[in-house]
A and B are shown apart, each in its own frame.
Chain A
Amino acid sequence: MRRGRAGAWLVLVVVFVYYLVPMIAMTRFAFQRIPVIKLSFGNLFDKWTIAPLIETFKEPEFRSSASLSVQLAIATAALTLILLVPTMAVAHLRSKRMRRMIELSSTLPFVVPAIALVVGFAGAFRETLPMFIRSPFGLVPLYVITALPFTHRALENGLAALDLRTLVDASQSLGATWYRTVVFVIVPNIRASIATAAFLALTVVLGEFTIASLLLKNTLPLYLSYSQGQNPQGSFAVGLVLILISTIFVASSNRLGKVVRS
């Protein structure tokens, strides 16, 4: 038993080091005014600065791509919820079969990798509905689909934990319409999983590269990729910020997920 525990600690420590090293390297690279070649143990505490980040924040290209990413993220979260919440609520209320079909469909994006999806999308829409390709907001539906496996799961957990039928019956026996029932009864009762789904959608969009890159839309990850050459420190710094943000989003959705379950 004791030996088993020592081994277990060893495993965790080794894995921990593996997880830590790239993050430390990236942080030092981004925030120390020391040429990469010279970074060593000796100057671990020297010349720290957040200037690379500040300077990057001032760049107009950064600003435009950051603002585009934020807008896309919000639009994606919104469209996801508008599309999924009422549909899944009805499915939970009325039809086990529909529930299963929606569940199945939510795993489809798993079979169609993002790269295949965007290739098909570009081909199909270029001829018929080119505005979807031209406008950066054409990305939103694709993002909704990319995030679907995660967002669906989050909402499913919330709905499954609820006695939806009783709630809806009560609401409608008081004369509420279906629309009002969704907005005023169902939504408040699953707000934790709605927030979880929204956080997951935001995380997916802020990190998504494949689709934006193939449709040549200047989102934040694309900015990172392009500016890596001229402004390596700045782009690494922004990359760290992105990691931090997605950490916060995932952590909050985890926390909320626990609320749903309890």
Chain B
Amino acid sequence: MNSRVAGSLNKRARHLAFAPYAIFLLVFLVWPGLYVFRSAFDQGSAPKNPMIEAVTGQYRSSFIFSLRLSFVSAILGLVIGATVAVALMRLSHVRGLRNVVVGYSAVAANMGGIPLAFAFLAAFGMQGLATRLLKGINIDLIGWGFRISDFWGIVLVYLYFQIPLMTLVIVPALDGLRRTWSEAAQSLGASTRQYWRFVALPILTPALLGGFLLLVANAFAAYATAFALSAGSSKLVTVQIRFFLQGETITGKTNLGYALAAWMVIITAFLVLGFQVLSRRAERWRR
């Protein structure tokens, strides 16, 4: 340790240096978080504890809807995103292709919110351009009951950022696969399928799991896109929470919004923990 730095920045000062950041997080993240939980468990004059009411009846189906949406869009995002990454690997001889795709993925992964919803309304809304185009070739989405604000509609929109997010996670992971592994596997008699099944996939598993978790949480927390697609009437938990904050008029149920939010935090934390455990197991060989 250098004495001069230590002198000007002694132990006390060092801890002081972290104080602004720590206080900031306490005030603007931890305190609101704790407030959510405190209110969520506060029954007040309501007939039922909000934490219980939040996962029964109407709200239970909201959670199921949100979670299903998150998992379905994450699984599709994983599969398609991985396919794109593998396609890029196959086409590695095409100069510049990878940079373009990865660059656009970074852009698209950050997209979302209102503008993205608009884009899909313009394309796949009732009178959307794509909707009418497809109808012209006898693919009648609306006739089949497809609505952009419904489950599969939202999935279609979410994929716009889920796919590139996954591609961004997998491309570097694929780079980590050494050519010698595939060649060693082949020289030992493995077919391409066996190589992927026994070598590449197990090595990629931690990255895939991490990416999948990212996608699930990403979709679970999303709000704006679904809100705009459905003009504020979506079944999503996030959209439901809004009612309680704005209209504290629903008598006796003031704290239900907090309970919904608390459950969201619990579920996300649970997902993170679960994936931590899975990744750790998939990663045993790293340590």
Contacts and interface: CB of A to CB of B under 8 A. Distances in A.
Asked whether the complex places CB atoms of A and B closer than 8 A, the reply is: yes
Interface of A: 4-5, 7-9, 11-12, 15, 18-19, 21-26, 28-30, 36-37, 39-41, 83-84, 86-87, 90-91, 93-95, 98, 102, 105, 108-125, 141-142, 144-145, 165, 168-169, 172-173, 177-178, 203, 207-210, 213-214, 216, 221, 224-225, 228, 235-236, 239-240, 242-243, 246-247, 250-251, 254
B129 A111 contact: no
B127 A95 contact: no
Contacts of B272: 110-111
Nearest to A110: B217
B83 A239 contact: no
Given A12-B101, A94-B14, A120-B35, A102 B21 contact: yes
Nearest to B246: A214
B58 interface: no
A6 B24 CA distance: 53
Given A214-B246, A225-B228, A116 B115 contact: no
Contacts, number: 245
14 contacts: A7-B90, A12-B84, A12-B91, A22-B119, A39-B129, A90-B9, A109-B29, A118-B245, A119-B36, A120-B32, A145-B28, A213-B227, A214-B242, A214-B245
Q: How large is the interface on B (under 10, 10 to 19, 20 to 34, 35 or more residues)?
A: 35 or more
Nearest to A107: B272
Nearest to B115: A239
Interface stretch (B45-53, B182-190, B201-209, B260-268): B260-268
Contacts of B28: 121, 141-142, 144-145
Interface of B: 2, 4-5, 8-9, 13-14, 17-18, 20-21, 24-25, 27-29, 31-36, 39, 80, 83-84, 86-88, 90-91, 101, 103-104, 106-108, 110-116, 118-120, 122-124, 127-130, 132-133, 159-160, 163, 217, 220-221, 223-224, 227-228, 238, 241-242, 244-246, 257-258, 261-262, 264-265, 268-269, 272
B119 A115 contact: no
A177 B223 contact: no
Nearest to B213: A110
Contact of A15 (B27, B34, B163): B163
B106 A250 contact: yes
B171 to A, nearest CB: 13
A91 B18 contact: yes
Given A178-B9, A250-B110, 18 more contacts: A8-B91, A12-B87, A15-B80, A93-B5, A113-B265, A115-B223, A116-B241, A117-B32, A119-B36, A119-B257, A120-B258, A141-B28, A172-B5, A209-B223, A221-B114, A235-B118, A242-B115, A254-B106
B17 A87 contact: yes
A4 to B, nearest CB: 5
Contact of A37 (B31, B35, B86, B127): B127
Nearest to B92: A8
A124 B264 contact: no
A127 to B, nearest CB: 10
Contacts of B25: 105, 108, 145
Given A8-B91, A25-B128, A26-B123, A83 B110 contact: no
Contacts of A113: 217, 220-221, 238, 261, 264-265, 268
Nearest to B20: A83
